[in-house]
Amino acid sequence: MSDIKKVVLAYSGGLDTSVILKWLQETYQCEVVTFTADLGQGEEVEPARAKAQAMGVKEIYIDDLREEFVRDFVFPMFRANTIYEGEYLLGTSIARPLIAKRLIEIANETGADAISHGATGKGNDQVRFELGAYALKPGVKVIAPWREWDLTSRETLMAYAKKANIPVDFTKAGKKSPYSMDANLLHISYEGGVLEDTWTEHEEDMWRWTVSPEKAPDVPTYIELTYRQGDIVAIDGVELTPAQVLTKLNEIGGANGIGRLDIVENRYVGMKSRGCYETPGGTIMLKAHRAIESITLDREVAHLKDELMPRYASLIYNGYWWSPERKMLQTMIDASQENVNGVVRLKLYKGNVIVVGRKSDDSLFDSRISTFEDDAGAYNQADAAGFIKLNALRMRIAANKGRKLI
């Protein structure tokens, strides 16, 4: 007899988590609480309620987390100009700490003994969910069915579902999907299928949010983004909430063929994985944020942020959002954004995000000093001679000692 009486399950209502729901009930003889998060994945989440009810679930949570997701997770990440391994905008990674947080909150509210998720034992998500859960509730028990059961394929899942009379749309579920997909307001990811051959080009009909650059409009789209302390607060002068900002940028970027990515990345568990990502709004945000920082940040502050960013990105990718080191870095990053205010003008054209203007009352760009015209004495060019000689001093000493460089 299991000592687990109640477990909170991250539940999508799809085949995998519906099988997990039934498996938990049978294996652990426990009550299951379901939690379904609306993170802007573009699919209806309410049907999950009916499926859970049909399987005897009495406590059902369906939460709209879109604003919290963008405000408290996506925006803070973009203040750091975060990309993993030079390309990936961390769309899946950044959603997991919020889901882990809510799982623990619901466990506390309902008096549950454990939480459960549908992540496999091969991927990063198991680490992200569980590191977050342990950080927020050290004694929580975690049940990861993919690491326990003998259901190792879609076919065995289907057979289990049929035998257990699980209310799944068998016509839809029985059709083999070529990709494993994850979606939220920041991105859609695609893995599996033809993508498991790194030489095979991704299929055009795979993409959901973006038109191909070849089919994007022949006329560029211009937009203006207003920043306040590092976050976008308005598009073309219209103030929007964080979730509204990202939704709008996804629409505009997708229509202009922006945000497609095909990469092979290094998973935390040690294997390489090929994934394709659609991140139209995020691609625009990254370019624009660097543009506004270029005129508002001190040089050394900007360079220090760039040096620390890969470490910060790895923390998020590997599941350490709730760690003290990520919090420490976030405090520094947020402090750097105090004067990151102003407007960036962008030209979007056939997959490209082109910065064409930036302005700010907090700009450190002084045209009187940087001008190629007469600067009226704002800068004494003769000062550069001593500056250069002092910086060359150690090299001149070494050369005088006969140190060979060639």
Instruction: Give catalytic residues, as residue numbers.
Output: 16, 96, 125, 180
3-class secondary structure per residue, the chain: CCCCCEEEEECCCCHHHHHHHHHHHHHHCCEEEEEEEECCCCCCCCHHHHHHHHCCCCCEEEEECHHHHHHHHHHHHHHCCCCECCCECCCCHHHHHHHHHHHHHHHHHHCCCEEECCCCCCCCHHHHHHHHHHHHCCCCEEECHHHCCCCCCHHHHHHHHHHCCCCCCHHHHHCCCCCEEEECCCCEEEECHHHHCCCCCCCHHHCCCCCCHHHCCCCCEEEEEEEECCEEEEECCEECCHHHHHHHHHHHHHHCCCCEEEEEEECCCCCEEEEEEECHHHHHHHHHHHHHHHHHCCHHHHHHHHHHHHHHHHHHHCCCCCCHHHHHHHHHHHHHCCCCCEEEEEEEECCEEEEEEEECCCCCCCHHHHCCCCCCCCCCCCHHHHHHHHHHHHHHHHHHCCCCCC
